[in-house]
Structure formats: C-alpha cells, structure tokens
C-alpha cells in the first residue's frame, strides 16, 4: 500500500537524534516526515533525566546555535541548573541541567507538533525501499510504503534490543518499548558492518521511602544558568535540589557475593558497555581498592516521587538490586519503583559513514545517534542535526556540509567516529578536542550561527539576537581599547583595591581587564569606569577574548598550518594496497576507513607521518 504523499526527508525514530534531524530538515524548508514507534515517547529520556555536562553541554550549545531544539526544551523543563568546572578555564566550563522527564517530553512533543514542514506518523519502520544502491523510502509495519528523496535512520538502542535483568533476558528497545527486530534483520542483509554494544540503567527509587536527613544536599547554582542562547531563567519551572549518598563496604560485599548472577560477568552479555558510565558491578571490580563511590540522587521531576540514583547502573538480579540500594545511607527502607537493567543492541560501524553522516554504500541513507556507536542524548542530538542538515542538502542536490574539528565539537564527534570507528559506546569529552580553547560553550554561536543562517537553519529572531550581541561586543571592545586610566584618575583609588600591583602608569581598560586578578563585572562596578554593558553574554565574551587572546592566537596558527591537509582530498575508490611503500598494516587501516582527506588519514592510529608523505607523493603522481 502506497502512502498518499511523498517526502524530501523521512526520519525514522523520535528520540534525541531523530527529533533534531527532523526539525533541522524542516527548518531548511524540506517536506519532512518523522516516523516513530509511538508518538507518546517522542523525546523520551531512556536513562538519566539530565542534559549537558562536560563536553556534552558544548554539543547542546552548538545545536542551539544552529536553531536546534534541545537547549530550549531543557530551559522549559530543567529543575536544577549548574555550571560544572566554573572555577576552571572557559574551555572546560559546561552547563548541566536536571530535567523533569515528563515536562521535557511534553515540550519536545509540543515543539514537534507545531513545527512548520514537519509531519508525525506513528508506525514502526520495518524495511527500506531500495533502487539499486539508492534508498528511496521506507516500508512500515502495516505494509505502508512511503517514498522520500532521503532517509535518516535513528533507531537508538532498539535494533535487536535485548534487555537483561540478572540471568533473565527478553527482547525490548528499552524498558516498556518493543525492540526493532524486522528492521534489524533487514539491515543485516545490507552491506553494512554491524556490531553489538551494551548500556545500562539504575533502579529508580520511591522518594517517600528515603530518609533525606541522612543525605547531603546539593543545590543548583544561583543565579540560575540557562542553556539556550535565547533562554531566560523565567522559563525554568520550580528549581529543586539534588542529594548525595555513597556506596560502602556492605554494598561492595553484596555485589562481589553475587557476581556469578551478573549477566556481564557470567558472559551472557556480548556487547561492550560504556567505559565512562560503568555499571556499579564494573566499578567495584575495576576500582577494587576504593571504599566508597559517590551516588547522586536526582529527582525525576516535580510531579513524581521517582528518584534516579546516578552511579548504580546495574544488570544484577532484582533481589540483589534491593540489597544494593538498601545498603546505602538514607536508603535502609527504600522501595524500588523500577528495576535497573542492561540492554544490548546492534550498532553500525561509523567508519562506513561519510563526514556528512551518509552511508558510504547506500546513497541517500543517513545514520545518526546511538546506532553509530555513541551514547548520550547530546551526542545523539548533535549527530541528528548534522544528518538532518545533510539529508536536506542532498534532497536539494546541494553540496554536503560537515563542520571541521576546529569549528565544532560536532566536527570532532563525526571525525572521530568516521575516522577511528568505536569499539565501546563513544561519549564526548573536552579532552577529545585538540582545539578546545576555541570550541567553548560560550562562543558556539559565534562559531556556528552565521553558518546556520546561511544553511537556512536560523530564524529571524535568533539572527537578530545574535547580531545585536555582536554589535554590543564591538562597541564595548572599542570603548575598552580607547578608554585610558591615568594614575591620577579619580577611579584609581578604587581600582587599586582590585589590582595586585597599584597603577603606576596609564593603562587602557583592555590592559586592565587582561590582568588575571581583574574581572569585567568588578572593573565596571568602579565609579568612573563602569557601568559597562548589561548584555551578559556579550560581556562574558569580551572578557574571555581579552584574557585568552594569546592562547587563542597560538591555537589559530596551528589550525592554519593543518588546514592544507584537511583540504587535500583522497579518492574514495583508492585501493591503498596498490600504493607503493605503504606497510601492510597501514594499507589495511586505510582500506577499512577510506578517509576522505589527508587530514582524516593522519588521525588514524598507526598511520605515521611517513605514510602521509607516501600518500602525498602518490596523489601528486596520480595527478
Ligand atoms: P533513542 O533515544 O533510543 O530513540 C530511538 C527512537 O527510535 C525511539 O523513539 C524509538 O521508538 C524509535 N525507533 C526505533 N526503531 C524504530 C523503528 N523501526 N521504527 C520506528 N521508530 C523506531 N546515555 C548516557 O549518556 N548515559 C547513560 O548512562 C545511558 N544509559 C542508558 C541506559 C539504557 C538502558 C538506555 C536504553 C539508554 C541509555 N543511554 C545512556 C543512552 C541514551 O538513552 C541514548 O544515547 C540516547 O537516547 C540516544 O538517542 P537516539 O535518538 O539515538 O535513540
């Protein structure tokens, strides 16, 4: 049965990748269909109810800078906001927000239902329609054939999903949702490299059974931060605190005594789990000498009693989960509302993707999110937006777009995946970005909003806000350069209280701001110097640019040097075993990855500078 309409872009899956992919394509004016199992679960957070964190917050800000929906949704649904690493340098500062799970889902659904050019359709996708090696639509569970110029697949943990609780296991996409079996089987017939990964989630606890007087309280930041560049604290719902408890010797004994009932340690689970978000049984075994692990107790929302104990993800049997939870301070009588579990699922080797997220073997098919071997809502959202953009570009026969590693964490993410692949769930960290001083949360808009505008992703409201900020910055930067304070200036007495060494000769306000002990707000609070600008984002940007100018310039020089390699293309059909002089190991690695540029080739482990020189000579000879 043929669907009554055709599309430019069909997005399969309404998770964090799918919703950003669909909205990005729709923003670019494409007729877009979001096909998902269940409209009720659009934007559902499968695991912890939180957005952001180190590296992840950077991705969310980048998605927001290009008009994406995640940051604005969390501004409407966040019940606790914090800036992590606030005392460290700006490159590693990161926003994190605890979400009201229900409010988040409602906000995403409301956004999608009112999005121009976007239609929602509830059906499972069971198959892809192929014309040779070109994908041109999907077939749903009810046998409905829907044609489209491009398809973006974002099936998350659902493909061949297998849930484990102790030695019991059953099929599922996540707790309460069906696995995607037909589509997974169909994908296995296609020329794709497929592997298995695993992730897990902790049991949820009923707050009424917890003794909070025994827990350490952890409030949010004051003033309350926002996520979106357009966000306002007034958009946030009521703010609540989180809490902290710890595991102890008793918890660790329970886990050790029951390891033979852990599907992971008994060898029942084949997939590899996230190294940076390990299960509690993994932590106890890997860090055997640690006497306690900190566990954050996070509310799941304002209208539920459920708590998320962040740090005790487990696939141990339910009776063991009860013992683990009740061993912790404050939890002696705790009632578990939902058991923890692990899930294994299929993922596709991301080295089979081009940097624009299109599959190398199947044209017009784009992959995003957990199916590419990543973990996390933010990593999924970033990939989703990039895939949505490129599906839209393809549908219009336009050139692809992918950010470079020095432009965005999204670029780092996609380059890491498509170059190196992954053997374990990949999550973002600031340490993955070699140019992290340039890729800060605070300047994601400066890096990406103009590109987003050009691509058709940024609406007039965001564009006007952005340009006003630029104007404010330019005016104030000029004033700081032009305003000089003489030692005999009436403001000097107050100024000297800020300075480590008193002012002995004339200095511009810019010079003064460059001093490590001076910040913009304190400087502007001095009568005769301030009041400065009220635009907080512009003021923050000015301060960072002044203080870190030297480092930023040095990093820019390095980028300029590397640029030549990034622009030297390698043919996709090059058989590296025919390049004279390359070692067998290097040939295998290059043939496995088929890098698109010399820059990408140089980042494959084992591809030496000597091998790069050989490749450059070979390219020259080929002409
Ligand atoms: P998902 O959010 O899984 O969304 C997939 C969507 O696709 C769903 O809407 C689904 O219904 C739909 N779908 C699937 N197949 C079909 C089909 N055939 N037809 C139509 N629709 C389909 N992340 C962390 O960062 N840390 C963690 O500790 C962590 N633990 C996790 C524990 C568990 C048990 C699970 C399930 C996930 C965990 N995650 C964790 C991962 C996080 O949930 C994902 O990274 C994120 O949700 C991925 O987003 P996505 O859009 O790729 O997929």
* Ligand 1 pocket residue status of 343, Cβ below 6 Å: yes
The domain boundary residue, chosen from 521, 553, 585:
553
Instruction: Report if residue 546 sits inside a domain.
Output: yes
Q: Has 277 been labeled as part of a binding site?
A: yes
Residue 73's pLDDT band (cuts 50, 70, 90): very high
- At 210-254, the pLDDT tens digits run 999 999 999 999 999 999 999 999 999 999 999 999 999 999 999
Is residue 32 scored above 90 in pLDDT? yes
More confident residue, 609 or 78: 78
| Cα atoms in the 13 Å half-sphere on the side-chain side of 19 | 31
For ligand 1, the distance from its centroid to the CA atom of residue 402, given in whole angstroms, is 24
17 annotated to bind ligand: yes
The strand pair at 365-367 and 145-153 is best described as parallel
Residue 5 has a CB neighbour count (10 Å cut-off) of 12
Looking at the fold, whether 543 and 609 belong to one and the same domain comes out as: no
* Domain identity same for 611 and 517: no
Tell how far the Cα of 233 is from the centroid of ligand 1, in angstroms. Answer: 29
Kindly report each contact of residues 114-119 with a partner whose C-beta sits within 8 Å and lies 24 or more positions away, as own/partner.
Answer: 115/22, 115/23, 115/26, 116/26, 117/25, 117/26, 117/27, 117/29, 117/30, 117/31, 117/32, 118/22, 118/23, 118/26, 118/32, 118/33, 118/34, 119/32, 119/33, 119/34
Q: Please, what's the b/e burial string for 363-390 (b: 16 or more CB within 10 A of its CB; e: otherwise)?
A: bbbbbbbbbbbbbbbbbbbbbbbbbbbb
Where does 366-508 have alpha helices with state H?
377-395, 409-420, 444-455, 460-482, 492-498
Tell me the per-residue pLDDT of 117-150, one tens digit each, with 9 for 90 and over. 999 999 999 999 999 999 999 999 999 999 999 9
Q: How far apart are CA 567 and CA 335, in angstroms?
A: 58
Residue finishing a domain among 322, 344, 366: 344
Q: Does residue 330 register a pLDDT over 80? A: yes
From 199, 282, 422, give the residue whose CB has the most ligand 1 atoms within 8 Å, as the site to mutate: 199
Q: Is residue 97 part of a domain?
A: no
User: According to the model, what pLDDT value does residue 585 have?
Assistant: 87
Average pLDDT over residues 484-503: 92
Classify residue 22: in a domain, yes or no: no
CATH number for 585? 1.10.150.570
Q: Do 573 and 549 have their domain in common?
A: no
Q: Which structural domain range is residue 583 located in? A: 568-622
Instruction: Give the residue, 370 or 268, on which the prediction is more confident.
Output: 370
Q: What is the pLDDT of residue 335?
A: 98
Q: What's the gap in Å between 436 CA and the centre of ligand 1?
A: 28
* Ligand 1 touching residue 12 (CB < 6 A): yes
User: Which of 496, 529, 553 lies at the terminal end of a domain, its last residue?
Assistant: 553
Atom of ligand 1 nearest to the CA of 375: 45
Q: 206, 306 in Cβ contact below 8 A? A: yes
577 occurs within a structural domain: yes
- Pocket probe for ligand 1: among 10, 11, 13, the residue whose CB has the most ligand atoms within 8 Å is 13
On the question of a cis peptide bond just before residue 372, with omega within 30 degrees of 0, the verdict is no
**533 and 577 both lie in a single domain:** no
Give CA–CA dist 140/35, Å, rounded.
9
- Whether 183 is in the pocket of ligand 1, judged by its Cβ within 6 Å, is yes
Structural domain total, the chain: 3
Helix (H, G, I), strand (E, B) or coil at 527: coil
Q: How far apart are CA 194 and CA 205, in angstroms?
A: 36
| Mean of pLDDT values over 373-402 | 98
Cβ(77) to ligand 1 under 6 A? no
Tokens of 463: 């564009």
Q: Which of 24, 122, 157 to mutate to test the pocket of ligand 1 (most atoms within 8 A of CB)?
A: 157
Checking if the pLDDT of 385 tops 90, the result is: yes
Residue ID of nearest Cα to ligand 1 atom 38: 47
Same domain, 581 and 522: no
- Say yes or no: 268 and 322 in one domain: yes
pLDDT at 590: 92
Atom of ligand 1 nearest to the CA of 41: 9
340 plus 244 within the same structural domain: yes
- Evaluate whether residue 526 is within a structural domain: yes
Average of per-residue pLDDT values in the chain:
95
- Residue 290 within a domain: yes
Co-location of 332 and 219 in the same domain: yes
pLDDT higher than 90, residue 264: no
From ligand 1's centre to the CA of 103, what distance in Å? 18
pTM over 0.90: yes
| Domain annotation covers residue 421 | no
Ligand 1: does its nearest atom lie under 6 Å from the Cβ of 314?
Answer: no
Same domain, 532 and 603: no
Would you say 70 is a known binding-site residue?
no
> Could you tell me if the CB of 124 is within 6 A of ligand 1?
yes
Please give the backbone phi and psi of residue 449, each rounded to the nearest 5 degrees, phi first.
-60, -40
CA distance 343 to 341: 7
| Alpha-carbon span 166 to 347, nearest angstrom | 23
Question: What percent of the chain has pLDDT above 70?
Answer: 100
CB of 279 within 6 A of ligand 1: the answer is no
Report whether residue 56 contacts ligand 1, using a CB cutoff of 6 Å.
Answer: no
Q: Is residue 520 part of a domain?
A: yes
Handedness of CA 130, 131, 135, 141 (dihedral sign): negative
Q: Which residue has the tokens 């990939």?
A: 383
ipTM entry: 0.98
Answer yes or no: do 539 and 587 share one domain. Answer: no
pLDDT at 218: 96
Task: Determine whether the shortest distance from the Cβ of 43 to ligand 1 is under 6 A.
Answer: no
- For residue 235, how far is its CA from the centre of ligand 1 (angstroms)? 27
| 548 and 609 co-located in one domain | no
Residues 499 and 614 in one domain: no
Q: How far is Cα of residue 238 from the mean position of the Cα atoms in its chain?
A: 25
Residue 40 marked ligand-binding: no
Reported confidence tier of residue 617, pLDDT bands at 50, 70, 90:
confident
Q: Is-cis flag, bond preceding 531, omega within 30?
A: yes
pLDDT tens string 155-203 = 999 999 999 999 999 999 999 999 999 999 999 999 999 999 999 999 9
Please report, for the domain that includes residue 244, its CATH number: 2.40.30.260
User: Is the C-beta atom of 156 inside 6 A of ligand 1?
Assistant: yes
Instruction: Please indicate if the annotation marks 343 as binding a ligand.
Output: no
Which domain CATH number covers 517?
1.10.10.1800
Residue 623 is predicted with a pLDDT of 73
């Amino acid at each position: 049965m043929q669907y009554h309409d055709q599309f430019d872009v069909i997005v399969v899956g309404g998770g964090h990748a799918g919703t950003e992919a669909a909205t990005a394509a729709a923003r670019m004016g494409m007729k877009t269909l979001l096909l998902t199992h269940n409209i009720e679960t659009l934007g559902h957070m499968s695991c912890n109810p939180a957005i952001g964190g180190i590296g992840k917050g950077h991705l969310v800000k980048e998605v927001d800078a290009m008009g994406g929906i995640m940051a604005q949704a969390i501004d409407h649904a966040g019940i606790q906001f914090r800036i992590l690493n606030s005392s460290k340098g700006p490159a590693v500062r990161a926003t994190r927000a605890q979400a009201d799970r229900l409010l988040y889902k409602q906000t995403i659904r409301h956004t999608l239902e009112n999005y121009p050019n976007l239609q929602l359709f509830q059906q499972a996708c069971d198959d892809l329609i192929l014309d040779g090696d070109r994908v041109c639509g999907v077939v749903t569970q009810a046998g409905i054939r829907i044609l489209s110029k491009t398809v973006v697949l974002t099936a998350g943990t659902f493909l061949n999903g297998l849930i484990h609780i102790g030695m019991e296991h059953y099929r599922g996409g996540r707790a309460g949702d069906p696995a995607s079996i037909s589509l997974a089987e169909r994908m296995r017939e296609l020329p794709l490299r497929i592997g298995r990964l695993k992730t897990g989630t902790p049991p949820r606890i009923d707050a009424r059974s917890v003794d909070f007087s025994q827990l350490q309280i952890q409030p949010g930041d004051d003033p309350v931060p926002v996520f979106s560049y357009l966000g306002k604290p007034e958009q946030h719902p009521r703010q609540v605190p989180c809490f902290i408890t710890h595991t102890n010797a008793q918890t660790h004994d329970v886990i050790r005594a029951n390891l033979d009932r852990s599907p992971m340690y008994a060898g029942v689970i084949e997939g590899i789990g996230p190294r940076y978000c390990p299960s509690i049984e993994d932590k106890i075994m890997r860090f055997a000498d640690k006497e306690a692990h900190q566990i954050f107790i996070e509310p799941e929302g304002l209208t539920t009693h459920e708590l998320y104990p962040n740090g005790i993800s487990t696939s141990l049997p339910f009776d063991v989960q009860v013992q683990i939870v009740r061993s912790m301070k404050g939890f002696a009588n705790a009632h578990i509302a939902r058991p923890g579990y692990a899930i294994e699922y299929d993922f596709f080797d991301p080295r089979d993707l081009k940097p624009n997220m299109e599959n190398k073997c199947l044209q017009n098919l784009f992959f995003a999110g957990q199916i590419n071997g990543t973990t996390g809502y933010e990593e999924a959202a970033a990939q989703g937006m990039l895939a949505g953009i490129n599906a839209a570009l393809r549908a219009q026969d336009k050139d692809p777009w992918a950010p470079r590693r020095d432009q965005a964490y999204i670029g780092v993410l996609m380059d890491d995946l498509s170059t190196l692949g992954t053997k374990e769930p990949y999550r973002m960290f600031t340490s993955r970005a070699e140019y992290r001083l340039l890729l800060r949360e605070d300047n994601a808009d400066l890096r990406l909003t103009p590109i987003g505008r050009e691509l058709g992703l940024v609406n007039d409201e965001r564009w006007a806000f952005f340009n006003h900020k630029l104007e404010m910055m330019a005016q104030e930067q000029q004033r700081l350069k032009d305003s000089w304070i003489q030692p005999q200036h009436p403001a000097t007495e107050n100024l000297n209280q800020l300075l480590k060494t008193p002012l002995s000769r004339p200095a511009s306000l810019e010079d003064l701001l460059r001093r490590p002990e001076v910040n913009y707000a304190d400087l502007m609070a001095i009568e005769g110097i301030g009041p400065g600008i009220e635009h907080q984002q512009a003021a923050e940007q000015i301060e960072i640019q002044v203080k870190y100018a030297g480092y930023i310039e040095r990093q820019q020089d390095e980028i300029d040097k590397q640029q030549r390699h990034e622009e030297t293309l390698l043919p996709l059909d090059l058989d590296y075993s025919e390049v004279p002089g390359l070692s067998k190991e290097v040939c295998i690695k290059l043939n496995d990855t088929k890098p698109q540029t010399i820059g990408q080739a140089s980042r494959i482990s084992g591809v030496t500078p000597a091998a790069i020189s050989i490749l450059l000579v070979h390219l020259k000879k080929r002409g």
